Amino acid sequence: MARTTLKVNGKAHEVDADPECPLLYVLRDDLAMNNPRFGCGLGQCGACTVLLDGNAVRSCRLPIRSIGSKEVITLEGLSTDQSIDPVQQAFIEEQAFQCGYCLNGWVMTAKALLEKNPHPTEAEMRRSFESLVCRCGSHVGIFNAVRRAAESTKRSA
């Protein structure tokens, strides 16, 4: 066990954990965050996705020793008491999910994509999302939500 400081959603958190412990377990077990979610534990489904310095990463395969001073943003960290993130808002408006278990991965990956490329093509969206899994078949709503979020950035620019 080692004392580690992680910057999560804008706040510093000190945890006692094995440096090899995956970030997912620290977020859920030590910091009591409901998202990200455990899906496959192999980094293949995307339910555990977080932003690490703005990049979408799979937290189930990321040992906390590799984080250092990088900023971790979870789904909870996208919104504030005063506002909801435009990506989250678009997913709500499109009613993009049935069960919602994989929601975390899709929203966080969409957020990373739109931060780097505010107006992605269909092919760019498909490439970004190709490794995410949605078992209930909400893909049409998901892609509509990402398009809506991209449109909202056009309007606010």
Domain with CATH 1.10.150.120 in the chain: 86-156
C-alpha closest to that of 65 among 15, 118, 30 = 15
Instruction: Give the separation between CA 120 and CA 42, rounded to whole angstroms.
Output: 28
The H or E element that residue 114 is part of is: helix 103-116
CATH class label, 2-78: alpha beta
Instruction: Give the separation between CA 36 and CA 47, rounded to whole angstroms.
Output: 6
pLDDT of residue 157 exceeding 70: no
- Model confidence at 137, pLDDT cuts 50, 70, 90, reads confident
86-156 fold = DNA polymerase; domain 1 (1.10.150)
pLDDT in tens, 77-99: 999 888 999 999 999 999 998 88
pTM (predicted TM-score): 0.93
Instruction: Give the separation between CA 127 and CA 45, rounded to whole angstroms.
Output: 15
Q: What is the mean pLDDT of the chain?
A: 93
Domain with CATH 3.10.20.30 in the chain: 2-78
CA angle 124, 126, 132 (to 5 degrees): 130
Residue in the block written with tokens 């979408």? 56
Give the pairing type, strands 2-8 and 71-73.
parallel
% helix / strand / coil in the chain, to the nearest 5? 40, 15, 40
